Structure 1
């Protein structure tokens, strides 16, 4: 079985191609197109510019999927699409560029899939874990163990959404979000906080000074609170051109990485988290596995 999983996010569209062989997935490196669906019109609808950029991405994905010999193609959309009045129409139109089924995930579903994808290989130890996924338009938290995911939240704060607030000053995001986070009631022996998504993997790549992205090195990387603050201080007063020369920082995140990192420090301060471990695996892998198991019947 060969599958394509497409993550339609607020900052970018990502593609995961994989083949299921002998009981496990063998995946290609994820590909990314920066389309900025989260930068919406004043009425909250998706902009023509971001939709056109996305349709171009879907066209390229269709070619890649065909060349790979994909049997099943599943797209899932998150914050930008689910909040937009024209979100469903956009996804229906996207299907004319790429043959696929799609789902628009709720914030809770997004949190749950992120947890499952990041921790699918770690839960056998019986410990309890928490995940944080800072996207372009929202941030998802989930808490659970091998038995269940018993707590999850989705907050309307993301790197694209809060960029204007971040531009106002170095403490603005922290000030606006420090009382946002709900108490997290852990029901057993706790393991670690796990960070997933583009903001956090990019921070890890910057910390590792990667000239070329390597997901294997990202997986399991430890990011301390001090390290994240250091990256913020390093980047905040750089111009965009200067940021483009920072190893590990992708051009499509150069203008939003500071706001995303500030959301992370706010989270870490609220829960007194000294460090997180980074997972390159996320909701894409969880949906990939669910697609194989046949537990879900996506609708067009």
Structure 2
């Protein structure tokens, strides 16, 4: 049986189509479209018109692609941007009417569960502290007895860029304010210090940059041990460059270049707080977790 999942995020819309075989999911197609749905959300409280238009076009195209690949079940879900926007629920209804498919605005708890499930299904059942760094928020998830504990923190890459980074490249004062805010958000919460695994576009981009991949290769990114030294080196390099030049660095998608320094700053602070020398990068993420969760639903 073939399944598809579409994730409507703050920065992008993503598609994963997979074949279920013996209880395992084998990826058939992955696609991503940058839509900037949550850009400016903090200043006005509503979703930008152009962001909604780009998102609707991307979701419609991905539904068509899933049907072309004969997916029997298409799960479409939205995360923090639609949870927080005043018009988030109304936009979900608009999408449902346009594509003739249900769109679920999932809770932070469900988002955390999907992300953790995606990681353990792809990296193995090891006891881990998983972080999923998105555009609007960052989820920290870890096993707590027979259940999962999680935190959802307002330190997403798009959010931080919009709030703190006005200069191009960001100046030292902006970076310092952002670092202090991230540190406060993480330190005022408690979480188990376990081996770190990371998912999300910032993490996978850093793994690609560390390996100087001219063409993105999921096989080389998945399972990569990204060191604290590599993260600090890439952050220093990116903060010295304007967006146009940053987007030319090997391993960076040009459409991710504007928000990558803010996301990298989060990971840098997290590793410092955890006193971790490295993290494991996972290609298996919320999309894969959603497929497994919904396949048995």
**TM-score (norm. length: structure 1):** 0.90
- Contact kept, 8 Å, 1:62 with 1:99, in 2: the verdict is no
Residue 150 of structure 2: aligned partner: 152
Q: Distance in 2 between matches of 1:177 and 1:277?
A: 21
Closer, same or farther in 2 for the Cα pair 1:103/1:194, shift >3 Å?
same
Residue 113 of structure 1: aligned partner: 114
Deviation at 1:205, TM superposition (A): 1.1
Residue 250 of structure 2: aligned partner: 247
Partner secondary structure for residue 97 of structure 2: coil
Partner secondary structure for residue 161 of structure 1: helix
Deviation at 1:150, TM superposition (A): 3.5
Q: Distance in 2 between matches of 1:239 and 1:40?
A: 20
Q: Deviations over 1:72-100 (max 9, x none)?
A: 11111111110011111111111233332
| Structure with the bigger percentage of helix | 2
Deviation at 1:30, TM superposition (A): 1.8
Q: Does residue 184 of structure 1 match 2:183?
A: no
The alignment yields a C-alpha RMSD, in angstroms, of 1.8
Deviation at 1:40, TM superposition (A): 3.3
Which consecutive unaligned segments of at least 5 residues does structure 1 have?
Answer: 295-300
- Contact kept, 8 Å, 1:73 with 1:99, in 2: the verdict is no
Closer, same or farther in 2 for the Cα pair 1:134/1:48, shift >3 Å?
same
- Contact kept, 8 Å, 2:238 with 2:246, in 1: the verdict is yes
Residue 84 of structure 2: aligned partner: 83
Residue 278 of structure 1: aligned partner: 281
Residue 101 of structure 1: aligned partner: 102
Deviation at 1:123, TM superposition (A): 5.0
Residue 139 of structure 1: aligned partner: 138
Residue 267 of structure 1: aligned partner: 270
Q: Distance in 2 between matches of 1:22 and 1:259?
A: 40
**TM-score (norm. length: structure 2):** 0.91
State which drifts further: 36-45 or 264-273: 36-45
Closer, same or farther in 2 for the Cα pair 1:198/1:170, shift >3 Å?
same
State which drifts further: 47-56 or 166-175: 166-175
Deviation at 1:59, TM superposition (A): 2.2
Closer, same or farther in 2 for the Cα pair 1:68/1:74, shift >3 Å?
same
Deviation at 1:122, TM superposition (A): 4.8
Deviation at 1:121, TM superposition (A): 5.0
Closer, same or farther in 2 for the Cα pair 1:121/1:263, shift >3 Å?
closer
Residue 231 of structure 1: aligned partner: 234
Closer, same or farther in 2 for the Cα pair 1:14/1:121, shift >3 Å?
closer
Partner secondary structure for residue 246 of structure 1: coil
Give the 5 Å matches for 1:2-21. 2-21=2-21
Which consecutive unaligned segments of at least 5 residues does structure 2 have?
Answer: none
- Contact kept, 8 Å, 1:219 with 1:278, in 2: the verdict is yes
